[in-house]
Amino acid sequence: MSELLERYGASLMNAFGPPKLALVRGEGAHVWDDQGREYVDFLGGIAVNTLGHAHPALVEALSTQVRTLGHVSNFFTSPQQVALAERLVALMTPADVEARVFFSNSGAEANEAALKLTRLTGRSHVVAMQDAFHGRTMGSLALTSKAAYREPFEPLPGHVTWVPFGDVEALAAAVTDETAAVVIEPLQGEAGVNEAPAAYLAAAREVTERHGALLWFDEVQSGMGRTGTWLASQASGVVPDLVTLAKGLGGGMPIGATLGLGRAATLFEPGNHGTTFGGNPLSCATALAVLDTIERDGLLARAVEVGERLRSGLAEDPRVTDVRGLGVLVGLTLAEEKASAVVAAAQEAGWIINATGPDRVRLAPPLVVTDDDVAGFLAAWPGLLDAAGLAGGVGSP
């Protein structure tokens, strides 16, 4: 064990388990640990590092901003905060729909703000999806379905009903005239990259409108171009009342955003919610650089291209039984429950990937990942499955 990992264990709370690596430097899709070993990062800080590591646009934006104005508190505003709100509204909401933004520091906080906002409808019942993950603050955790995450902290706030993801009949049966909101991840990341059926989001819109409930899309992981569109839900044409963003928005700087559309845009009044750091000039300047770079470099189309190559290449191995996802958010199912062994074999070989279940693997590389990195990973993939002991590889009967 490296000295840094030993010091970590002696000085930080054990909330995450032992770190897999102590990383000290990054460039593009590559990172280096404290022993000088290089890895290709196909997880991107769990879909955060949209532009990879040390991208010149982010370095310039952050360094320029910190030399100019670093923090102002929410008694004041800054040009970067207003510009970012305007850009998000323009990119992610229809032109004929009024929209407003609340900035925070993370996806959990963006969801926490959205949950509080739903209470201002005068209702408290929320319908959420099985296998959903919305964060680990008390409010966002109340919407997260995994019992192992929730139960140590119960009772949690609110009246929540979970329904099977993609089941229109179950959703229609759960939503009533007392329902404040339905919250859906259009592409469930934590659950293993599960895409909502094509008609499901439209059905959810119809059900919520019928009962006067808000429709809330959690795009914390699937947003910011990762799926090849600014939001995963945009391809459906469905316009929600709430959208939550974070992860890729700041390209590594902490920022979350809650977008309210239509009546949800004006539910918050002064004093209803707050944040010390949310929307500060540093995070907003970095997020603007992320948006500029995605547009300038055509990274939405690049996400589609790379994602198709990854899914097609990974599916060629018969030990992969299913490949899912959009753009560079890729989920796959293995023929055996050896996802952790595959992740360990990948790290040993210099690739960083992630297991989301006993047989499920998730990839979320930066949008700037190179063709050589993609080709290298696909070439290595069968050997990683061999090393993890999945049957059917080289030398198997």
Report the catalytic residues.
133, 218, 247
Q: What type of residue sits at position 82?
A: V
Q: What type of residue sits at position 14?
A: N
CA dihedral 12, 14, 17, 19 (to 10 degrees): 0
Q: Which SS3 state, helix, strand or coil, does residue 45 take?
A: helix
Q: Which SS3 state, helix, strand or coil, does residue 155 take?
A: coil
121 is in an annotated binding site: no
108 is in an annotated binding site: yes
Q: Which SS3 state, helix, strand or coil, does residue 86 take?
A: helix
CA-CA distance, 38 to 380, in Å (whole number)? 15
Residue 157 DSSP class:
S
Secondary element (H or E) of residue 336: none
274 is in an annotated binding site: no
CA-CA distance, 88 to 116, in Å (whole number)? 21
275 is in an annotated binding site: yes
Asked if residue 384 lies in contact with residue 348, where contact means CB atoms within 8 angstroms, the answer is no
- Sign, CA torsion 40/44/46/47: negative
142 is in an annotated binding site: no
Task: Name the one residue in this structure whose structure tokens are 């019992």.
Answer: 147
Name the token pair of 66: 């910190």
Asked if residue 275 lies in contact with residue 109, where contact means CB atoms within 8 angstroms, the answer is yes
User: What φ, ψ does residue 301 adopt, rounded to 5°?
Assistant: -65, -35
Secondary element (H or E) of residue 104: strand 99-104
Closest Cα partner for 114 from 233, 222, 257, 240?
A: 257
CA-CA distance, 108 to 217, in Å (whole number)? 13
Q: What type of residue sits at position 113?
A: A
37 is in an annotated binding site: no
Asked if residue 287 lies in contact with residue 305, where contact means CB atoms within 8 angstroms, the answer is no
Name the token pair of 114: 């959205």
133 is in an annotated binding site: yes
Task: Name the one residue in this structure whose structure tokens are 């040993």.
Answer: 348
Query: Residues marked as binding for N(2)-acetyl-L-ornithine?
Result: 136, 275
Query: Residues marked as binding?
Result: 107-108, 133, 136, 218-221, 275-276
